[in-house]
A and B are shown apart, each in its own frame.
Chain A
Amino acid sequence: GAVVSQHPSWVICKSGTSVKIECRSLDFQATTMFWYRQFPKQSLMLMATSNEGSKATYEQGVEKDKFLINHASLTLSTLTVTSAHPEDSSFYICSASWDLPSYEQYFGPGTRLTVT
């Protein structure tokens, strides 16, 4: 149980275009989803927290107009990287939780974004 999927698993796009990444909880309803960014050989950096039906909360230093997050349902959150540039190339990981106080998060497999 507690499976989270991400799509696509990898994507290559040209500079200036936008890319959408989907995060789905397959067998549970996720009241909260988190989006992380991971650079090579580095830790996860929390980008934003999204709750179903409300606006995402972004961490300091994360551009909300560049990284658009939509949490349309209890099983789906999307991250859109707008006007992507090479410096946006990274590994993006989502996680989902239905029980915030326990701090248990279930992670997706990640999406490798390469901007050329």
Chain B
Amino acid sequence: GNSVTQMEGPVTLSEEAFLTINCTYTATGYPSLFWYVQYPGEGLQLLLKATKADDKGSNKGFEATYRKETTSFHLEKGSVQVSDSAVYFCALPLSGNTGKLIFGQGTTLQVKP
């Protein structure tokens, strides 16, 4: 089945710093790739997605590019804010067409003023 590996955290940055959270995957074919965010005390929210190779997903200033050559989907943001403090999860379909997702271990981001 498919699998995903995410960089370990926590990541601590100052406001306006550049953010990169690494995510690499192994998969059969070219499945859709996702980033979810979990703010403190809340459920997961879909942050962005890419459905095919070379696609770039973007939302709220975050971007991630589906790179099949390196099997990566790294999350980036040019200037983080305190409000971006959360746990970020990379995800992809488990296998087949079941609708099931497999998640990375999550990366905690803390942004300090």
Contacts and interface: CB of A to CB of B under 8 A. Distances in A.
A95 B44 contact: yes
B106 A46 contact: no
Contact of B106 (A4, A6, A43, A105): A43
Interface in B22-43: 32, 34, 36, 41-43
Contacts of A49: 98-100
Interface stretch (B60-68, B76-84, B89-97): B89-97
A93 interface: yes
Interface string A85-96: 000000001010
Nearest to A4: B43
Given A42-B105, A43-B104, A103-B32, A110 B99 contact: no
A42 B97 contact: no
A100 B99 contact: yes
A12 interface: no
B59 interface: no
A67 interface: no
A102 B100 CA distance: 10
Interface in A29-44: 32, 34, 41-44
Contact of B94 (A46, A102, A104): A46
B50 to A, nearest CB: 12
> Looking at B32, B34, B43, B93, which has the most chain A CB atoms within 10 Å of its CB?
B43
A109 B44 CA distance: 7
A109 B42 contact: yes
A4 B43 CA distance: 9
B99 A32 contact: yes
Nearest to A104: B46
A101 interface: yes
B17 interface: no
B105 A93 contact: no
Given A49-B100, A107-B43, 14 more contacts: A4-B43, A44-B44, A46-B94, A46-B101, A49-B98, A95-B44, A102-B32, A103-B32, A103-B34, A105-B101, A106-B46, A108-B43, A109-B43, A110-B43
Which 6 pairs, one residue from A and one from B, show the smallest C-beta to C-beta distance? A100-B99, A107-B43, A107-B44, A109-B43, A43-B105, A43-B103
